[in-house]
Amino acid sequence: MSENTSNSQLPRVGLTHGDINGISYEIILKAFSDSRMLGMMTPILYGQSKAFSYYKKNFGLDDFNYSLTRDARQSWNQKFNILNIVDQELKIEPGMTTSLSAEMSVLSLKKATEDLRDGYVDALVMSPDCPSVAATQMDYLNATFDKPDVLRLLVSDKIRVGLATDKMPLREALAQLDAPRVVKKLATLSAALKSDFNIASPKIAVMGLNPTAQADAQDFVVAAVKEAQQKDVFAFGPFSASSLFVQGLWKKYDAVLALYYEQGTLPFKIMSLNGGAYYWVGLPAVCAGPMHGPGFDIANANQASPDSFRAALYLALDILNCRGDRI
C-alpha cells in the first residue's frame, strides 16, 4: 500500500451504504467500476468492508480494489476508500430489511453526517435506505445542522422540483402547509438556485393545493406567493398540474415548488427517466442522493442501474463547483 498524500484538487465525497440488504452496494460498485470517477473525487464509503467484498464477489467484480481508512481526513487519493462503521461481520439477507440492516443504515448516516458537519468530507451522497430510515432523513439533517427550513430539491437535466413537505402521509402534509411555511421554502429555494446553480434572478412556479388551482383552498398559497414577491423572491402561481406540466409552462421557470411529495415526484420521475437525483437545500454542506428506494425486489440480482446514484455524485460535484468549496 503506497503512502497517502493530500490532493486538494479532489473533493472528499462521503457515501452512506444505505440498507445492506438492498441494491446500495451494487449501485456503488457499478458507479465506481468506471475508474474515471476516481479522477473526479475521493470517495469514502461509511460501510463495512466485508459486506462490500460479499457483493463485489457476487457481481463478478473481483478486480475492484479498495483501501481501508480509519479517518476520512486520511483517505487515500485515487482510490476507493472504506471506513468501517463496525468491525464485526454483518449478516446479509438480500431482499428484505431487518432490524440489523436498519440499525446499520442509521449508523452509517450518523457517522457520515457528523463528518460532513465537521468538514472531514466535502459532500455526502446517500445510498437508498429502507423506508423507515429514509423518512427520518430530513429531521436528522435539520437537527444535525440546526437548519429548520431544509427542503428536498429534485434535479435532472430537464427540470428542478422542490418539495414544501417531504415523505409523509398526505394528511400530515396538509396539516403542516400554510403561508409562512411556503414563504420560507420559497426563500430557501431561491437562495439555493442563486448559490448552487448560478442563477442570478431565479423564477419559481408554485403549485396549487387542489387539481384545478382555483380560489377554494388556495388562499394561503396566493398569500405566500405575494409575500415572497415582497421579499424579492420571484415566485408565481399557484398553478395546476395540468397547466404547469401538460401545457409545458414549467419550461418558463427555473424551478417548481410542489406542496407535497407525490405532487412533485410523479411529474419529475416521468420527465427524468434517464436518471435524476435530489439534494437537501438549505444546508451549509452538500448532501445528495438517488431518486429511488432500496430495490429489495431486485436485490443481489445484478439488475440495478447506477444511473441515478451517478447523477447524485455529479450533482454534488456541480454544487461544490458553483459554491467554490473545493473544486
Provide the residue type at 47 as one letter: G
Alpha-carbon separation of residue 174 from 160, 235, 242 (angstroms): 22, 21, 21
> Looking at residues 61-74, what average pLDDT do you find?
92
**Average pLDDT of the segment spanning 55-62:** 91
Q: Which of 6-15, 97-106, 113-122, 296-305 has the lowest mean pLDDT?
A: 6-15
Nearest to 207 by CA among 245, 160, 256: 256
- The answer on pLDDT for 58 being more than 70 is yes
Q: Which residues contact residue 214 at a Cβ distance below 8 angstroms, ignoring those fewer than 6 apart?
A: 208
Helix, strand, or coil (residue 163)? strand
Residue 101 has φ and ψ, to the nearest 5°, of -65, -35
pTM score:
0.92
- Name the β-bridge partners of 13: 43, 123
Mean pLDDT in residue range 224-244: 94
Determine the average pLDDT of the residues in 288-311.
Answer: 95
Which residues 6+ apart lie within 8 Å of 85 measured at CB?
17, 46, 47, 48, 104, 107, 108, 111
Residue 326 has pLDDT above 60, yes or no: no
Query: Residue 218's pLDDT band (boundaries 50, 70, 90)?
Result: low
pLDDT in tens, 185-197: 999 999 999 999 9
User: First and final CA of the chain: distance in angstroms?
Assistant: 27
Q: Give the model's confidence band at 325: pLDDT under 50 very low, under 70 low, under 90 confident, else very high.
A: low
Whether residue 211 is predicted with pLDDT greater than 80 in this model: the reply is no
Residue 173 CA to its chain's centroid (Å)? 20
Residue 219 pLDDT grade (very low, low, confident, very high; cuts 50, 70, 90): confident
The average pLDDT across 310-322 equals 96
User: What CA–CA distance (Å, rounded) separates 43 from 200?
Assistant: 32
Residue 26 confidence (pLDDT): 97
| Residue 279 in grid coordinates | 439534494
Say if CB 22 and CB 130 are below 8 A apart: yes
Half-sphere exposure (Cβ direction) of 279: Cα atoms closer than 13 Å: 30
Q: If we measure between CA atoms, which residue out of 100, 52, 71, 73 comes closest to residue 7?
A: 73
**Under a CB-based contact definition with an 8 Å cutoff, are residues 23 and 94 in contact?**
no
Name which of 96-100, 132-136, 208-212, 283-287 the model is least confident about: 208-212
**Residue 57 burial (CB count, 10 A):** 11
Q: What is the pLDDT of residue 142?
A: 84
- What pairs with residue 280 in β-bridges? 152
Average pLDDT over residues 90-110: 94
Residue linked to cell 377554494: 216
Residue 16 has pLDDT above 90, yes or no: yes
Q: What's the whole-number average pLDDT of the chain?
A: 91
Name the helix (H) or strand (E) containing 122.
none
The single residue listed with the C-alpha cell 464509503 is 45
Average pLDDT over residues 281-300: 94
Per-residue pLDDT, averaged over 129-133, amounts to 86
Averaged pLDDT, 82-108: 94
Least confident residue range of 17-21, 245-249, 287-291: 245-249
Q: Which amino acid is at 123?
A: A
| pLDDT 10s digits, 28-47 | 999 999 989 999 999 999 99
Nearest CA-CA partner of 327 in 8, 18, 103, 79: 8
Is residue 183 within 8 A of residue 224, CB to CB? The reply is yes
- C-alpha Rg value of the chain to the nearest Å: 20
**pLDDT for 316:** 97
pLDDT at residue 324, as a whole number: 85
Query: What's the pLDDT score for residue 2?
Result: 34
Contacts of 165 (CB under 8 A, 6+ apart): 172, 173, 176, 177, 259, 260, 261
pLDDT for residue 213: 53
Domains in the chain (CATH in brackets) are 9-150+275-327 (3.40.718.10), 158-271 (3.40.718.10)
